Structure 1
Amino acid sequence: MMTPSKTGKVLLTRPEPDNDSLKTLLTNQGFDVRELPLLQIEQLPESPEIRTLAMNIDQFQEVICTSKHAANWLMQLLDTYWPQIPVGIRWYAMGSGSATPLIEYGLEVSLPVTGNTSEDMLQRPELQNLDQHKVLLVKGEGGRDTLAQGLTERGASVDTLELYRRTQAEYPHETLKAVFGQWQPDQIVVLSGEALDSLWSLCRKIGYALKSTRCIVPSQRVADKAKALNLNVAVAASLHDESLADMINASLNQ
């Protein structure tokens, strides 16, 4: 890995405290790192539907957690309604961060063989023929329906357990001008299409020319969305901190 210039400025945008490990890694490599979370994460109140799905989770052959927040709050629910996690369920997570809460409960978790998108998850060989399987998707409110559609097309009966919502973060003009007008990041890590929407909205709010800053994104889908806005974009190999740091280093002098 190349040694970065001390003037490399990187803005991290995950909700707190999800930036901590990447911030430490980049700071140790000499980058000037700041945080500006682009999305707020709010746990949904426990509804009768949420309670019913949690209490009947033993009826599902596959459970797929699409984020760390989904996995965390699912485990809290199961702690409430199950003295021990039911056996006979195949557990899946979209990435290593999503898998961690499940692994901490002693569960064996499968990830996409490569990548971290719905399309990547659908490539797993054991998810190709799901006739008479019941699959539970644990996720946030809204979002893409690619995974549910793909599983349904393969014969699965799919239920969705939505445990949180994402909303765009709001900041006063002074905060935004301090970050974008005065500090002026060289690179911004933007890890979802919703986060990109929030970034675009905040920058327009203060008239910041986002096109002059490189955006590090996690997938070709988000890259295509950024390119449609004429943004300077680079795609990291994965959501792992090391992969993001590698791309940030590689992009520094481009």
Structure 2
Amino acid sequence: MAAPVAPCAILTRPEGQADSLARALNAEGIDALEFPLLDIAPQADPAALAALDGALRSLPAYALAIFVSPNAVAHALARLVHLHSPDNAAAGDDPDAEVTGGSAGAHWPGRLPVAVVGPGSAQALAHAGIAPPSHRVIAPPGGPQARFDSEALLAQLDLPSLAGRRVLLVRGDGGRELLADTLRANGAQLDIVSAYTRRAPVPDTAAWAALEARLALPERCAWVLTSSEAVRHLATLLAARYGTREGVHTPGTPQVLAQILAAPCFTSHTRIADAARCAGFDRITQCAPGDENLLAALKTWADPIQVKHDDR
């Protein structure tokens, strides 16, 4: 299969979470290939689900609730609506039960402030009906030098005021411990609950074929890497498909791997850039957080390719 002429951005977010960026890229004449490197699913472990439900039923007892990601917001608030919906009472603790019963904002205590790491989580809260002025939402400030991570959020919190008070931290399975460690070190009584799980997907034959066809001309392709965990999954997938840890390759695979690693990468955080470097990429552009900044950086990269194509 001949490689496409148009520039192509390889989007690695979980399935269904790159749609809006893909549409924006297409509008700029940039092809978008979705190659998910994370699978996100509602929490299904009975013990973890019971802990989540217990926390959501006790929201008025907390001084602060923190969501670490848009996925944490979406899955926890879907569960909150489920718990308050008479239509779903018969479903018991089924995490996949259909959610009805209106907006999560109707069930969120007005006096309970919410803290989030970035604008994506704030938008997910607003979509669920939790937004100023009826609710207090704490988030790192935007701007050209903005950072959207645990460190930036901690700088916005009044940590001494949380000493001896209950704080709820909603996340997926695992993750960085900086928020939890810092809150505990400042005396907060911390409850950590998991609202979703992350898994490494296994691309099928068609997905690999589509990727390799586009990367036959790596100068026309760019990786969009938005999670350091996803980059580590990618490194594992590449090692399994193109060579063992001892460096033994099947015929032809070293060239394909070289093409994959020769494509430029666009990231929005230093940790993601470091993970990409460890995975073998060396053409890495770190731009400001947010899809609008990723889009602008990708458009700048694609413009010369599009001009060259138009001149043919």
SS in 2 for 1:247: helix
More helix by share: 2
Equivalent position of 1:244 in the other structure: 294
Match of 1:112 among 134, 140, 153: 140
Any idea what the Cα deviations from partners look like across 1:185-241, whole Å, max 9, x if unmatched? 621111111110122222233322332012212211121222233412111200x21
Match of 2:224 among 184, 189, 214: 189
Match of 1:54 among 39, 53, 56: 56
Distance in 2, matches of 1:19 and 1:10, equals: 11
Equivalent position of 1:72 in the other structure: 74
Match of 1:228 among 271, 278, 283: 278
Structure ID, larger Rg: 2
**Larger deviation: 99-108 or 217-226?**
99-108
Equivalent position of 1:3 in the other structure: none
TM-score by length of 2: 0.73
Q: CA RMSD in A?
A: 2.2
* Same amino acid, percent of matched pairs: 27
Contact 1:21 1:241 (8 Å CA) reproduced: no
Superposed displacement of residue 174, structure 1: 4.7
Residues 24 and 127 of structure 1: CA distance in aligned 2, closer, same or farther (over 3 Å): farther
Distance in 1, matches of 2:202 and 2:160, equals: 42
Contact 1:122 1:128 (8 Å CA) reproduced: no
May I ask how many residue pairs the two structures share in their alignment? 247
Map 1:1-254 → 2, pairs under 5 A:
7-45=6-44, 47-81=49-83, 84-104=107-127, 105-107=129-131, 108=135, 109-113=137-141, 114-127=146-159, 129-179=161-211, 181-184=212-215, 186-207=221-242, 208-209=257-258, 210-231=260-281, 232-238=283-289, 240-252=290-302
Distance in 1, matches of 2:167 and 2:59, equals: 10
Any idea what the Cα deviations from partners look like across 1:155-185, whole Å, max 9, x if unmatched? 2222111011111110234531331x21116
Distance in 2, matches of 1:37 and 1:128, equals: 40
Distance in 1, matches of 2:119 and 2:197, equals: 21
**Larger deviation: 42-51 or 116-125?**
42-51
Residues 50 and 152 of structure 1: CA distance in aligned 2, closer, same or farther (over 3 Å): same
TM-score by length of 1: 0.88
Structure 1, unaligned runs of 5 or more: 1-5
Superposed displacement of residue 49, structure 1: 1.7
Distance in 2, matches of 1:41 and 1:234, equals: 26
SS in 2 for 1:137: strand
Equivalent position of 2:99 in the other structure: none
Q: What is the identity, as a one-letter code, of the residue corresponding to 2:188? A: A
Residues 170 and 130 of structure 1: CA distance in aligned 2, closer, same or farther (over 3 Å): same
More strand by share: 1
Structure 2, unaligned runs of 5 or more: 85-105, 243-256, 306-312
Contact 2:108 2:130 (8 Å CA) reproduced: no
SS in 2 for 1:101: helix
